[in-house]
Amino acid sequence: MIRLVAIMFVLTSLSGSAFAAEETIATLRAAAISEAPQAPALAKVFNRDLRQVRNYPEQPPLIPHKIEGYQIDLNTNKCLTCHSRVATGQSQAPMVSITHFMDREGQFLASISPRRYFCNLCHVVQHEVQPLIENEFVDIDSLLSTGGQGTKN
Ligand code: HEC
Ligand code: HEC
C-alpha cells in the first residue's frame, strides 16, 4: 500500500511539472511551448552590395548579396566563380584572402584549402530585421577610446 502511494505521488508530481512546462512562455517565440504560433513572414535578405563593417578583425565578413541557389558541392562551387583568384578580373569581387589557401599547419597550398571550401560554414547573409533582443556588444575601438572602462556609466 505504501508503495502504491509512493508511485501515485511520483506520477502526480511528474504530471504537475509537465503542466508547469506548458505554461512557460518561451521569450523569443512569445508563445507557450505547447502552442504552435504562426511563423513570421520570411525576411528579405540584405542585398545592397555594400561591404559590412566587421565587428572584430578576425570576423568572417558578412555576405552583402543574395546567395539563393548558389550551389556548393563536390563538383561545383558557385562562390568561387566570382571570388577565386582568376575570377576577380571579370567579377570585380574581392578575392578570398590568402588565409583560405592555408592548411592547418599554416602551409600555403596552390588552390583553396579543403577546410575553406564550404564558404557558408563561416560566411552568412543577413536579413533585414530588427534584433530580437537588446545587444550590448561594444566595438573594440569604442572600448579603447574609453581607456578600457566600457561605455556604461
Ligand atoms: C556573381 C558573382 C558573385 C558570386 C557568385 C558570389 N559573390 Fe560574393 N561578392 C561579389 C561581389 C561583386 C562582392 C563585393 C560587394 C558586392 O558588390 O556585393 C561580393 C562580396 C562578398 C563578401 C564580402 C567581402 C567583404 O570583404 O566584406 C563575402 C563574404 C562574399 N561575397 C561571399 C560570397 C559567398 C560565400 C558566395 C557563395 C555562397 C558568394 N560570395 C558568391 C560577387 C559574387
Ligand atoms: C573556416 C571559416 C571560413 C571559410 C570556410 C571561408 N572563409 Fe572566407 N573568410 C573567413 C575569415 C575569418 C575571413 C577574414 C580573415 C581572413 O581574411 O582570413 C574571411 C575573409 C573572406 C573574404 C574577404 C577577403 C578580403 O581580403 O577582403 C572573402 C571574399 C571570403 N572570405 C570569401 C570566402 C569564400 C568565397 C569561401 C568559400 C570558397 C570562404 N570565404 C570560406 C573565414 C572563412
99 Cβ neighbours under 8 A, 6+ residues apart: 116
124 half-sphere exposure, CB direction, 13 A CA radius = 5
More confident site: 126 or 17: 126
pLDDT tens readout for residues 84-133: 999 999 999 999 999 999 999 999 999 999 999 999 999 999 999 988 88
d(CA 16, CA 11): 8
Residue 51 has a CB neighbour count (10 Å cut-off) of 11
Q: What is the pLDDT of residue 153?
A: 45
User: What topology is assigned to 80-121 in CATH?
Assistant: Flavocytochrome C3; Chain A, domain 2 (1.10.1130)
Ligand nearest to the CA of 98: 2
% the chain with pLDDT above 90: 61
Whether ligand 2 lies within 6 angstroms of the CB of 63 is answered as: no
In this structure, the residue with its CA closest to atom 16 of ligand 1 is 49
Specify the ligand 2 atom closest to the Cα of 84.
35
Whether ligand 1 lies within 6 angstroms of the CB of 123 is answered as: yes
d(CA 142, CA 140): 5
Res. 20: pLDDT tops 70: no
Cell of 21: 512546462
Nearest CA to 79 among 42, 127, 124, 43?
A: 124
Whether ligand 2 lies within 6 angstroms of the CB of 85 is answered as: no
d(CA 139, CA 131): 17
What are the start and end residues of each CATH 1.10.1130.10 domain in the chain? 80-121
